[in-house]
Amino acid sequence: MSSESQAKRNVLVLAMANAFLGAQLPMMFIIGGLAGQSLTTNICWATLPISFIVFGAMTTAPWLSQFMQNYGRRAGFFLGAAAGVMGAIICAIAMYQGNFTILLIGSYLTGIFQSSLGFYRFAAADMASEDFRAKAISYTMAGGLVSAIIGPQLVKLTTDFFTVPFLGVYVTIIFINVFGSFLFLFIDIPTPKAEQYDRVSSRSRLQLLSTPKIFIPIIIAMVSYSLMTLVMTSTPLAVVGCGYSQGNAADIVSAHVLAMFVPSFFTGHLINRFGNIRIISIGLLLLMLAGIINLSGVALTNFFAGLVLIGIGWNFGFIGATTMLSNAHSATERGKVQGINDLFVYGSVTLASIASGALMNCSASTTEQGWTAVNLAMAPFLILAFIAVLWLIKNKNSSMNLKT
């Protein structure tokens, strides 16, 4: 089988894995804050289970990336699914016993799965040619479209399956991880041999971070992902707090996750045609517009429109940043760069999820005021991202002038 054929088959398998296994993340994010709120005595910590998922991903990313570098993508993905099983089991026990601390432990283990899921996009690029790389990343993430559909619907079907709230959701997630992991048997990504790395020098982590083509996409990915998390984490609490049903909250999150992944069918083509910088800039503008819409009211239409725009903005910003990063390092540096990237990305997302709950529940006396605080918090991070893009454009133009 040719390298191109292998790359396309891997993309298909990874897209399917993203579709099936990835369904557990919208499920976790829909019920995480509500489950936490039902167990904790301090509502300021309601979204802490979501924060622990992302914290788990942050602390896992560096060593899991190196693990994959040494033992291969397949081994790393099996490890992630196993952690997903354990996390869901512990969360189910937590709900049964009504123990908030145990829920946080299970959430942390789920974060190991989230970390492994984040490497699907990088695995898709491993064997892809330069022309196919943006499309490979985009198509793999497009699998999230299916997870966006089935995840929230599974929440609706299983939330009240047992008398213990949300227990049915966590039991369902156990089966998702067990059966979904069989897909990894069909991945064909050779593990580079150690002697290959000995022939090529690898920059230190500090040298890598001082390279603009590496730290700029990391900043953009951090802002795109953290702002999406900041708003999405509070959305179920805001929707229910404004008098709407849990079903309405699930539908809004479903629309949001659809918006995150539907564009993936053409984002890679847009990047190849218009370039990373333009697509990233459009993504940041959409995130800004979403914040404006969310600040303008709390009608269901505002929630739907704002969350859809945040989903599309995240897609353009995150895929654009991932593609830019994939082209900025050698195979020797893959483990280091991808580990550093996800450490910073999930670190910012962890802080965003914690801040989301605090802003939503503890910064104001009403749900509407809390929702306003959440969306106002987007502003400084959008400014940072726009400055990073302008800096990149300036340096790109300077390089072109030097060449001419």
DSSP codes, 156-167: HHHTTSSSSTTH
Which residue has better confidence, 398 or 224?
Answer: 224
For the stretch 46-93, pLDDT in tens is 778 888 998 898 899 888 988 988 888 899 999 999 999 999 999 999
Per-residue DSSP letter, 263: T
**pLDDT in the model for residue 396:** 67
Contact in structure between 270 and 323 (CB atoms under 8 Å): no
**pLDDT in the model for residue 381:** 92
For the stretch 8-25, pLDDT in tens is 888 999 999 999 999 998
The token pair at 204 is: 């230190």
Cα angle, residue 61 at apex, residues 7 and 323 outer, rounded to 5°? 40
Which residue has better confidence, 174 or 123?
Answer: 174
For the stretch 310-354, pLDDT in tens is 999 999 999 899 888 877 666 677 777 878 888 888 888 888 878
Q: Taking 60 as the threshold, does the pLDDT of residue 403 lie above it?
A: no
Q: What is the mean pLDDT of the chain?
A: 85
Which residue has better confidence, 402 or 375?
Answer: 375
Say how many CA atoms lie within 13 Å of 78 toward its Cβ.
10
Q: Taking 70 as the threshold, does the pLDDT of residue 45 lie above it?
A: yes
Is the pTM for the entire model greater than 0.85?
A: no
Going by CATH, does the domain composed of 3-184+203-403 fall within 1.20.1250.20? yes
For the stretch 176-231, pLDDT in tens is 999 999 999 998 877 766 544 444 456 777 777 777 788 888 999 999 999 998 99
Contact in structure between 171 and 90 (CB atoms under 8 Å): no
Domain ranges of the chain: 3-184+203-403
Say how many CA atoms lie within 13 Å of 148 toward its Cβ.
22
**Mean of the pLDDT values across residues 268-277?**
88
**What percentage of the chain reaches a pLDDT higher than 90?**
37
Burial of 198 by CB count in 10 Å (0-12 exposed, 13-18 middle, 19+ buried)? exposed
**pLDDT in the model for residue 193:** 61
